[in-house]
Structure 1
Amino acid sequence: MSEYQYYEFLALDRPLDDDEVKQVRALSTRADISPTRFVNEYQWGDFKGDPTKLVEQFYDAHLYYANWGSRRLLLRLPAGTLRAKEATAYAMEESLGVRTRSGHTLLDFSLSSEDGAEWEFDTHYTLSTFVGLRSELAAGDLRPLYLGWLAGLTAWELAEYDEEEYAREIEPPVPAGLGALTGPQQALAEFLGVDMDLLATAAEASEPAGADPVNRKALVAFIAGLPAADKDTLLLEAALGTAPSPGPHLLARYRATNAPTPRGGTGPRSAAELLDRAHALRTERRERERVARAAAERSRARAAAEAREAHLDRLARNVDQVWMDVDDLIAQKKAGAYDAAVVLLGDLRDVEARTGGTADFDRRTAELRAAHRGKPSLMQRFDKMGIPRS
């Protein structure tokens, strides 16, 4: 099996300067490198650089995947846009790491080869599929983080961890809209191998997106209570354009401190509860699919039987002509014509069998055997069809 690895980096907030491009170029002579993008594919060998350090120093996003199953997505956001403390609530060793570096929060989504499935030779991703996640997170949409946590839970289920560990692990805050993911979020769920039944289970406690209208008075009180230093930082960054608009970030902080109770009035669920419920949903779904497949198969069989009967009805109205067609096909002395003749003979046998017997068919095929016994290829077809020897 041929190995394949894909590396891509994007600089979104600012392009690399000439000196930085030279530093990156020193790590790879074959890569496609510009001030905003680095791309390289490896059929042999490996990248000499450290992707984590490159994101810490230069880039805002990094994508890696290999055809043996390993996958990684790194996103860097200004710490004022996404606080590491908030993101850490969703961290899972198996799927999502969170760290801070030089005023930024780094999100490290990953799927290891041990967690992956079989080798994949047709899979292809680019960072353009995932960069929208960065804007969503900056606007306070935490669904990508929850998906990272769910990916870890999926890995736990596949590995069959200890039940006590399942019971101790409590889900992080459930963001709204898990039942209707955006395009980038759907791609992330697929990229990380999130179990769809587990996602459906999580969505049961998720409010619809946009279902929590902002209480203006409560928001005014929240902003009034913010530390003066926080307000000064937000205004300064907005004036200098060094960070995204403070509006989405403020709303995200407000919603985080005024999070609604999960749907159904339930509190946070344990991993065990989520996995048990996902197992139940999976069982129900598979049963529905089995019933649907069986019904579809019955429908196909019924349609085929009806089509077969209609075909035999047409032949029954002109049996003598069909026997002449058999004779004409045999006279061609070709393998394809022999095959077609045998098909027609099968039809004739079924037509006669519908009337209660095949005596006439047996007589006429015996005559055919006698007339064409010097054609071994045809005789082999007669034997396979079950036409008795005289």
Structure 2
Amino acid sequence: MSEYQYYEFLAVDRPLDAGEQAEVRTLSTRARISATSFTNEYEWGDFKGDPGRMMERYYDAHLYLANWGTHRIMFRLPGTLLDPDIARQYRVGELVSSWTAGDHVILEFTSEDESGEWDEHLEVPLSAVVGIRAELAAGDLRSLYLAWLSAYGSWERDEEAFGYEAEDVLEPPVPAGLGTLTAPQRALADFLRLDSDLLAVAADGCAELRAVQDDPGELAAWVVGLDGEEKDRLLLRVVRDQAAQVRAEMLRRFRGVGKGRPRRTVAELLDGAAERRQGA
């Protein structure tokens, strides 16, 4: 089987100017390049660029797939919209990583499957999942949890993916609404090969996604009850141009993200998925 690789990048917040387009052109003479996108396919040879560096400098979203089993998604968000400390809670080795570059946070989600099975007709355009970026910016962390879950779910395909100590790893905060994914989140789960039974077990008992319109009186009472020193810290961050991040964090806390249930271990989640599969 000949090799096949697909690269796609999108610039969402700011289009590339002529000079920047010329710079990325030096990385590939055959790529389809515009002010907002970069797309190329390889059936021989390899891409000369570094996707991570391209994300740091030019683009806000990236999708990569290869016929030897690698699927990869990357997103870049302003640090004012996604707290790097929150992203760190969902890291899983090389499969789910995050880092900061200037004022941005970059996320990288990877799925590997070396079984040799390849769908030549697989079509997962970046446009199908780029909506994840806006959801993260609005405080919806479901995609981070899906990436974390898919990473440990790969243990069922590759028994050498993790050591036995990983069985006792506790899940990160569980966002509400895992049982009702958005279209981009569903596309992400499929692209990362997230097992449907594992997702069902993770979503079992998960809080439902609250209505977008929160009760004003309830929200006001919650804010009044915050500690005075904490309010001062939050207000200072707003003055320092972190208003969007502060809003997202406060709404997550108000809506009880990750609360109301004990955190499960990786072993409990995988065992639950196996039991559900056997009972089907």
Q: Same fold (TM over 0.5)?
A: yes
- 1:94/1:111 contact within 8 Å kept: no
Taking a change above 3 Å as real, the CA distance of residues 227 and 176 of structure 1, as seen in their structure-2 partners, is closer
- Whole-Å separation in 2 of the counterparts to 1:211 and 1:273: 30
The offset of 1:168, in angstroms, is 2.1
- Whole-Å separation in 2 of the counterparts to 1:233 and 1:121: 49
- Counterpart of 1:368 in structure 2 is none
Alignment of 1:347-358 (within 5 A): none
Which of 212, 223, 233 lines up with 1:219 in the alignment? 223
Which of 248, 253, 259 lines up with 1:252 in the alignment? 248
Between structure 1 and structure 2, the one with the greater Rg is: 1
- Whole-Å separation in 1 of the counterparts to 2:151 and 2:135: 21
Aligned residues: 272
- Letter of the 2:240 partner, please give it: T
- Whole-Å separation in 2 of the counterparts to 1:104 and 1:93: 21
- Counterpart of 1:277 in structure 2 is 272
- Counterpart of 2:237 in structure 1 is 230
- Whole-Å separation in 2 of the counterparts to 1:7 and 1:261: 34
- Counterpart of 1:129 in structure 2 is 128
RMSD after superposition: 2.3
Alignment of 1:35-114 (within 5 A): 35-114=35-114
TM-score normalized with structure 2 length: 0.89
- Whole-Å separation in 2 of the counterparts to 1:152 and 1:279: 16
Bigger helix fraction: 1
1:160 aligns with 2:159: yes
Alignment of 1:13-52 (within 5 A): 13-52=13-52
Taking a change above 3 Å as real, the CA distance of residues 193 and 94 of structure 1, as seen in their structure-2 partners, is farther
- Whole-Å separation in 2 of the counterparts to 1:69 and 1:227: 44
Query: Residue by residue, what CA displacement relative to the aligned partner does 1:100-129 show, whole Å, maximum 9, x if unpaired?
Result: 111111000111343x66122111121101
Query: Residue by residue, what CA displacement relative to the aligned partner does 1:57-111 show, whole Å, maximum 9, x if unpaired?
Result: 0110111111221111110000010011001111112521111111111000111
Taking a change above 3 Å as real, the CA distance of residues 266 and 210 of structure 1, as seen in their structure-2 partners, is closer
- Whole-Å separation in 1 of the counterparts to 2:67 and 2:109: 17
- Whole-Å separation in 1 of the counterparts to 2:104 and 2:225: 28
The percentage of aligned residue pairs carrying the same residue is: 46
Alignment of 1:115-126 (within 5 A): 118-126=117-125
The offset of 1:156, in angstroms, is 1.9
1:173 aligns with 2:173: yes
Alignment of 1:305-316 (within 5 A): none
Taking a change above 3 Å as real, the CA distance of residues 266 and 229 of structure 1, as seen in their structure-2 partners, is closer
**Unaligned 5+ residue runs, structure 1?**
239-245, 286-390
- 1:9/1:62 contact within 8 Å kept: yes
- Letter of the 1:165 partner, please give it: E
- Letter of the 2:250 partner, please give it: Y
- Whole-Å separation in 2 of the counterparts to 1:255 and 1:74: 25
Q: SS state of the match for residue 14, structure 2?
A: coil
Q: SS state of the match for residue 233, structure 2?
A: coil
- Whole-Å separation in 1 of the counterparts to 2:257 and 2:103: 32
- Counterpart of 1:207 in structure 2 is 207
TM-score normalized with structure 1 length: 0.65
